[in-house]
Chain A
Amino acid sequence: MSSSAITRAMMHESLVEPTHVPAETSEVIMETDRAATVAWLQAILKEYEGPLLRYAQRITKDLDLARDVVQETFLRVCRQDRAALDGHLARWLFRVCRNRALDVQRKEQRMSVATDLDLHTLPSSTGPTEQLELRETNSRLLLLLERLPSTQQEVIRLKFQNDMKYREIAEITGQSVSNVGFLLHTGLKRLRDLMKHDN
């Protein structure tokens, strides 16, 4: 049964585990690492907690779900190699947060396809008080913004609320840079039209 033996051998080969760092060394690394991770996490929490929550809430349309999403995003970032994240931490956080939020939202059966219809109606999960709050704090402009397709809203928010570059937005939302530019352009144009009409 030579062919089966070969199959076996191949399977074993692919299962070979990578060699580990000797135990003592890894312990030391771990110790310093932990303290550093905590400090680092505190720092990024301070900077990104609010923006990420705001972003996630837009997608999930539910604060509690958004909180779960953001918590998980931070948990995940703790497990990442910090050095590798250097320079694109924000993008990483937003992207992971976005994907997670979309997953959650799909699971929760609140998939709002970006039709204008959906955008007029606030989700039922938001209580009346919260709805009121939202409306009060929102300016006229922001209410008009709500009327854009969600894809356009998303890029506008990422641009002006989170001050992201086209390239960063493209990476977060998984679109091409030119598409982001186009979405922003049409979004803003539409917003201006809406404003004119509104007046």
Chain B
Amino acid sequence: MTTPAFNSNDDRLTAYALGELEGDLRAAFESELADSPALQQELAELQSLTGRLRSELAEEVEPALTSTQHQVLMTQAAKPVAVAIAPAITPRPTRHQSWVLLGPGIAAGLAIGVGYLSYPAPTMQTASLSDLDSYAASQPAGPFEEFNSLYKQQRFAEAEIIARELKASNPGDGTAEALFWKARFARRKGSNDKLQLDKEESYWNQLDDVEQGVVVSTGDPNPLTFSDNWSDISDRRKFPSGPNLSLYDAQEAKSNSGPVKTDSNGNGIPLPVALTKNKGMAGEEARQKRNYSLPQLTTTTGTQLMLEADESGPRKPNQLGFVAADLKRGQEAIKISESLKKRVSLHEDKLSLGDTIKKIQTAADINISFDFDGLKEANVSTTAPVTIDVDGIQAKSALNLILGRYDLAYTIDNEVLKITSRARQQSELADLQRQESENEAYEAPPENAFLTPMQQPLSTFSIDVDSASYSNVRRFLTQGQRPPADAVRVEEMVNYFSYNYPQPKDGEPFSVTADAAPCPWQPKNYLARIGLQARTIDKAKRPPTNLVFLLDVSGSMQAANKLPLVKQAMTMLCEELNERDRIAIVTYAGDAGVKLASTPGSDQTQIMQSIEALQAGGSTNGAAGINLAYEEALRHFNGEGENRVILCTDGDFNVGVSSDDQLVELIQQQAKTKVFLSIFGFGMGNLKDAKLEKLADKGNGHYGYIDDLKEARRVFNEELVGTLYTVAKDVKIQVEFNPLTVGAYRLIGYENRALAAKDFNDDTKDAGEIGAGHTVTALYEIAPKGQWPVTKEVDPLKYRANANEAAPVETAPKQNLSPESADDLFTVKLRYKQPTADVSVKTIDYVVDDIIGKKIVPSPDLVWAASVASFGMQLRHSQFKGNWTMNDVYEAAQGAKGADANGRRREFLDLVQAAKRLAPATK
């Protein structure tokens, strides 16, 4: 018998030497051994090695626990403890089985990974051992095992960290890459799912709460008393068409469109407005409670609940108006709206309006009255002829048919159905909407007016990179409401978009572009533009960051578009952090507390767990939180990097220091520490827009408004570098207008950023910051000399020559003014400080020539900026909005949209359409 060639890779040899071969295998190996001297030789060598290993390893030092630790152990052992049942130890699946295992519920992106995952699986029996050897040496078994085990336990965040480490240690390894994305997608999906589940859960809880709250036991000798409003709820719960069902459908529809979408909706609730206006404790509490637990139903959505489930299609304002009014008036209104569903049959030929209505009144059993003022407005009398021939239609449809013909509408008022003109009904709707948003606080200084260079040659203001106003306006418009005029800050809308300005030269923090073109909405005027482009920082080369999140976790933050959105935003940001960064989490709600002490950005597990654990509850003490956050930021102050406190709140500071001035003072104090501040507003209803903007302004920071997940991703992930890194601070712009060419000028927007002329050179005066990659645009409308004055606002001067005729002495052109300067329109200069400097730097002068008589074709970017500005001005009913309408905005913007890589301009066009559809607000 020939001796089989001995294979030194045969691991049976080792197993045999170590006594692990048993039964037949052992017998077979022994017979092989007997035949092969080479194998015997191998065995002898191996045995000698194992012997040496055994003895030498046994001699290794055995450390001991400290005596304190012994004591602790003994004390603990002596304590009575609940004895747990030891888990059965079962070996984990083998590696080649488990690490190619694909868990259930894999995110879509995983399909990419599947190809990689068919990595050649190491098999123990084959001879491809050299491959395996190198594989085993380079691929630790541990991480894979761990990854799969974590993944199976749905601990995706931790699995992601393992995969990240694997990826880092095996650059270019497709498997590691695939595992990493697998975990990341799974985690994201998991968090989205969880959000949705939470929403559904809270929805049911909320219904239960109401149910338990409204069912009064009849057998109770001491029954609880409920305010009248509660019976409204009871009645509504008994709604025949099942308001709960339609309410649920509304939610379902929203949820189905993706968890992201739902966030953009508010926290309104389908309670009668009468209840929310009740200042009694029960009502107020119920309101708050429901606010939290029914996140995605806006008040608008809530009103839909009152409509029949079978109604579909876009709701016209008048229908909405009826319903909103209906909600407000509670019980009686419900009766009426019920009666409106009764079927009526009308066969009338040229019957008078009054008699027709009377017929409906009898048939449907509703009290109907005429608002004669309204009729007069609509130029209709009750004798107007009505011809109608319908059978078994709902009373309301009949009413709509009849009234629609005469431009009339109905509302429910004082327990009767009132027939009035459509315009009046619209204004009632507007009133109602105003009441809804009355809780939101906006504050705006009056709009900038035209100034003459004769009287005020200098225009000075601080830059503003905020874009909060745009997101906020978007929120209103997508909900079918016109934003309050004061919530519209034109400059923030213009600055939401980035423009194509040249990159700055080396060493300069930003570039400056200044030009002028004919003004689109006032063709005789010019539109001048000043554009700043901040230096971009490569995401990969960004400086280290020391971040402190200051989170409002007060009860009002519980809504899905608040704290849960904050948590998702934070998670997105943390994905971008690495070991050079630090992150801390401080919360405030009643008591301020450090939820996560400053932790390196690489410790993702810890960070993610801390974020996960955040919960809302309690009232707000913003001041204590602010102090604590700055302390935490200063403790780990990074001289080379960016130090920033990020405040996420709905702005409801209601405990402790709560006067705006005190808070501003506090922030101003803290801003001296060179820690920057970013403020992000979340949610709606409670948003204190003005307060937040002021705080960010004073705290060397910027203010953003996060209305949905998409915006969160933009700010916290895609544009993180711009969000976090300041390239220049206290950036001030001063423009000097030439009285020889300019009749009057008007700065569009920047009302709350105005500075006095002398503040320009005063380094103690705070101004705006500009972040990496940001663009800032400021627009001036200029009335050229001769086109001004268009209004006689100021009487001609008595002691000076009239501005239009000859210049007064003080502002007369200088003697040495060169001829070319005489043709200047204006000169721009800027001052800024380096992020850590205390002394400002002045830029060169940028001069823009007069464009009189020149054919200037405005660049698409300028047209875009002009469109956005005009849109903003129209929304805030500016007296300077000129002759442009929403249609003009749409057309101009459409033509200037450009490549629009991020889809933001497309979205703007949709907003313009939405604004166009809205009835002009009556004011």
Contact = CB atoms under 8 A, between A and B. Distances in A.
Interface of A: 1, 4-5, 7-8, 30, 33-34, 37-38, 41-42, 45, 49-51, 53-54, 57, 63, 66-67, 70-71, 74-75, 78-81, 84-85, 88, 91-92, 95, 102, 106-107, 109, 111, 113-116, 133, 137-139, 141-142, 145, 149-152, 156-157, 159-161, 165-167, 170-171, 173-179, 181-186, 188-189, 191-192, 195
Nearest to B205: A4
A152 B91 CA distance: 18
Contact of B92 (A71, A150, A174): A174
B94 A186 contact: no
Contacts of A179: 94-95, 124, 141
A171 B91 contact: yes
Interface in B75-131: 76-86, 89-95, 124-125, 129
B66 A139 contact: no
A91 B377 CA distance: 91
Nearest to B138: A115
A181 B63 contact: no
B542 interface: no
15 contacts: A1-B207, A42-B74, A49-B62, A50-B63, A54-B60, A67-B63, A75-B76, A85-B86, A113-B169, A115-B138, A142-B56, A142-B60, A160-B57, A186-B133, A188-B50
Contacts of B95: 175-176, 179
A139 B59 CA distance: 10
B70 interface: yes
State the main secondary structure of chain A at its contact with B. Answer: helix
A152 B92 CA distance: 18
Given A30-B80, A142-B56, A4 B207 contact: yes
B579 interface: yes
A50 B169 contact: no
Contacts of B11: 181-182, 184-186
B95 to A, nearest CB: 6
Given A34-B80, A91-B89, A141-B56, A111 B165 contact: yes
Contacts of B579: 109
Contacts of A63: 63
Given A53-B63, A174-B92, A176-B91, A184 B14 contact: yes
A192 B64 CA distance: 32
B49 A192 contact: yes
Contacts of A170: 91
Interface string B241-272: 00010000000000000000000000000000
A142 B141 contact: no
A182 B124 contact: yes
Given A50-B63, A50-B64, A113-B169, A176 B77 contact: no
Contacts of B606: 107
B53 A45 contact: no
Contacts of B140: 113-114, 149-151
Contacts of A4: 204, 207-208
Contacts of B541: none
A104 B852 CA distance: 74
A133 B49 CA distance: 24
B148 to A, nearest CB: 10
B142 interface: yes
Contacts of A81: 83-86
A57 B14 contact: no
Given A4-B204, A45-B73, A109-B602, A50 B18 contact: no
B65 interface: yes
Given A50-B64, A115-B169, A71 B85 contact: no
B65 A49 contact: yes
B76 A188 contact: no
B69 interface: yes
Contacts of B63: 50, 53-54, 57, 63, 66-67
Nearest to A58: B60
B15 interface: yes
B83 A80 contact: yes
A142 B49 CA distance: 11
A156 B53 contact: yes
Contact of B62 (A53, A106, A191, A192): A53
Nearest to A188: B14
Contact of B80 (A33, A74, A156, A188): A33
Interface string B14-34: 110010100000000000000
Contacts of B80: 30, 33-34
Interface string B26-58: 000000000000000000011001101110111
Contacts of A80: 83-86
Contacts of A165: 20
A74 to B, nearest CB: 5
Contacts of A114: 137, 140, 142
B838 interface: no
B603 interface: yes
A107 B73 CA distance: 24
B70 A45 contact: yes
A132 B56 CA distance: 18
B728 interface: no
A174 B169 contact: no
Contacts of B208: 1, 4-5, 8
Nearest to A71: B69
A175 B141 contact: yes
Contacts of A1: 204, 207-208, 211, 244
Given A67-B66, A74-B73, A92 B211 contact: no
A169 to B, nearest CB: 10
A147 B70 CA distance: 34
Contacts of A157: 57
B13 interface: yes
B436 interface: no
B596 to A, nearest CB: 14
Given A114-B137, A189-B8, A84 B211 contact: no
Nearest to A67: B65
Contacts of B72: 71, 75
Instruction: Give the most central of B64, B70, B83: most A CB within 10 Å.
Output: B83
Interface string B581-605: 0000000000000000000101101
Contacts of B603: 107, 109
Given A142-B57, A157-B57, A181-B20, A171 B66 contact: no
A165 B8 CA distance: 22
Contacts of B149: 174
A6 B49 CA distance: 67
Top 5 closest A-B pairs, CB basis? Answer: A50-B62, A176-B94, A185-B11, A84-B86, A185-B14
Interface in B831-879: none
B86 A78 contact: no
A79 B77 CA distance: 8
Contacts of B18: 159, 166, 184
Given A1-B207, A4-B204, A91-B89, A78 B69 contact: no
Contacts of A195: 49
Contacts of B77: 34, 37-38, 41, 78
Given A49-B64, A107-B603, A174-B145, A34 B79 contact: yes
Instruction: Give the most central of A49, A141, A149, A176: most B CB within 10 Å.
Output: A176
A177 B13 contact: no
Given A71-B69, A109-B579, A171-B91, A137 B50 contact: no
A167 B22 CA distance: 13
Contact of A181 (B15, B66, B89): B15
Given A91-B89, A109-B579, A54 B78 contact: no
B73 A171 contact: no
Interface string B449-487: 000000000000000000000000000000000000000
B32 to A, nearest CB: 16
B60 A161 contact: yes
Given A33-B83, A88-B89, A185-B11, 10 more contacts: A4-B204, A5-B208, A34-B80, A79-B84, A80-B86, A106-B605, A115-B137, A175-B141, A179-B141, A189-B9
